[in-house]
Amino acid sequence: MTPPKPRPRPDKVSLWRYTKLFRKDILSAQPQRLYRAWMAEFRTPFFRSYLINQPELIETVLKKRPDDFPKSNRISEGLRPLLGNSVFLTNGETWKRQRRIIDPAFEGGRLKDTFSAMHAAGQAAVDRLRPQVGEVLECEEVTSHIAADVIFRTLFSVPIEHEIAAKVFDKFRSYQREQPILNVAAFVPLPRWVPRLHSRKTRKNAKEIRRLIERLTADRSDLIAKGQAPNDLATKIMTTRDPETGRGFDTREMVDQVAIFFLAGHETSASALAWTLYLMALYPEWQERLADEASALNAPSFAKMSQLKLSRDVFREALRLYPPVPMMVREATCPERFRDRDIPEGSQVVISPWHLHRQERIWDKPDEFDPTRWSTENGKSCQRNAYIPFSAGPRVCTGAGFAMIEGPLLLSMLLRNFRFELVEGRTPVPVAHLTVRSKDGIWLRVVER
């Protein structure tokens, strides 16, 4: 069972052609050899970039010596107008302080508290879809709406229909359409002395989104001061103090963090859920198995999540084949030597879940969709050493646990009520925007069960 490839992977590709292909179809852009290579070098007139695809090297960069390989500013600048100095972009002591304040909100015990809000968002999505049964729908739009609803309900205890939430969602869609493809900057960025320019529309949308988030944050501050704030993620984060300094986030810092929660929590979840629905349409036998399993949600509760084992394995497999963030870029702060290659200081070190999750020397049948792999010895080993949809090490995504509840829950709720079917001539082609999306959308027919 192999998801179809749009075109055969090329054996070799020039940097110019790679850039051109990358914008159209990241599957076809990747030379076949990169799926077997432990390491590859890309040279430009201004610097060198190194793709590492060996688990031991990735462990060095992400887990053993993360301070020596901070996030690359070349990539971060593309998101700066919206995210400011959020935890997604910062490095060093600033980042460590931010994580000390944010992490307690996402501890395992608190995730249980978000379940009812997630379930409410899922039920609202089911209700929205019922009038559209029988129609062909663009599923990335559907999953974006659901994921945004989850974020606002869990973060600020308001549904997507809330006046400010609806405006943020609308502005973000405009921002997303304007935002250039980011990951290609790992291979062909401008030299440091060239200023990073953003279109007027991008700057305007980012400014408007931040203004709206500031309104939500200010309203929540007032409720906290009055002792009337709901016990949600925003309240927890805004009332948490750094144990080392005793300081919390000021208003600007909180706006930065809410912006990344919305971006990361909404954009990545929407991508992952849309590709999972496509895979379910592609493999209807798995769709039926998940629909049967979803009967556990007749009496929805957090405890029932442990019964959604198939849904979890399917969602995990979708994250392997279509990782929302296909590439992560770090920068070497000192000269290195990897696999007998000298890595100059300032070089870009690219870690690609897209390649690692399909590494032919590690995974059994890496291009095949097989949710049962997670119970095999190979699957268990790969999950420990070669599976990083949420990154790894100290910078692992704060919301990884959140996402692994949200994804299987929403998937089960949708499949319990509807069947999703392929549409002839509408095979999605993955491209890299803010996340891995389909070039022309993911179009599926929705049928009521």
Domains of the chain: 15-448 (1.10.630.10)
| Residue 390, φ and ψ in degrees, nearest 5 | -115, 25
The tokens describing 184, both together, are 């290609």
SS3 438: strand
Highest mean pLDDT among 35-44, 269-278, 301-310: 269-278
Q: Compute the mean pLDDT over every residue in the chain, rounded to the nearest whole number.
A: 88
Q: How does DSSP assign 358-400, residue by residue?
A: T-TTTSSSTTS--GGGGGSHHHHHHHHHS--BTB-GGGS-TTH
Cα–Cα nearest to 196, from 75, 327, 72, 329:
75
Residue range 187-222, pLDDT digits in tens: 454 555 444 556 777 788 888 999 999 999 999 999
pLDDT of residue 129: 96
39 and 50 Cβ atoms separated by less than 8 Å: yes
CA dist., res. 224 & res. 257, Å (int)? 18
CA dist., res. 385 & res. 133, Å (int)? 42
Half-sphere exposure of 268 (CA within 13 A, CB side): 23
Cα–Cα nearest to 281, from 421, 380, 169:
421
User: How far is the first Cα of the chain from the last one, in angstroms, to the nearest whole number?
Assistant: 25
Scanning 157-199, the segments in alpha helix (DSSP H) are 163-178
Cα–Cα nearest to 323, from 384, 359, 283, 272:
272
CA dist., res. 329 & res. 52, Å (int)? 10
Strand partners, 348: 49, 331
270 has pLDDT over 60 = yes
CA angle 376, 382, 387 (to 5 degrees): 130
Sheet bearing 443-448, strands edge to edge: 136-138, 443-448, 418-422
The sign of the dihedral angle between the CA atoms of 140, 353, 61, 332 is negative
Cα–Cα nearest to 164, from 220, 239, 238, 105:
220
**What are the Cα distances from residue 126, in Å, to 69, 273, 357?**
44, 14, 32
Half-sphere exposure of 171 (CA within 13 A, CB side): 23
pLDDT of residue 28: 59
Residue range 300-346, pLDDT digits in tens: 889 889 999 999 999 999 999 999 988 888 999 999 999 999 999 98
pTM: 0.91
pLDDT of residue 195: 47
24 and 317 Cβ atoms separated by less than 8 Å: no
CA dist., res. 424 & res. 422, Å (int)? 6
| Residue 302, φ and ψ in degrees, nearest 5 | -60, -35
371 and 310 Cβ atoms separated by less than 8 Å: yes
The pLDDT-based confidence of 90 (bands split at 50, 70, 90) is very high
Cα–Cα nearest to 358, from 312, 315, 389:
389
Mean pLDDT for the stretch of residues 350-358? 93
Strand partners, 389: 391
DSSP state of 424: T
146 and 121 Cβ atoms separated by less than 8 Å: yes
Cα–Cα nearest to 364, from 320, 319, 308, 412:
320
The pLDDT-based confidence of 29 (bands split at 50, 70, 90) is low
6 has pLDDT over 50 = no
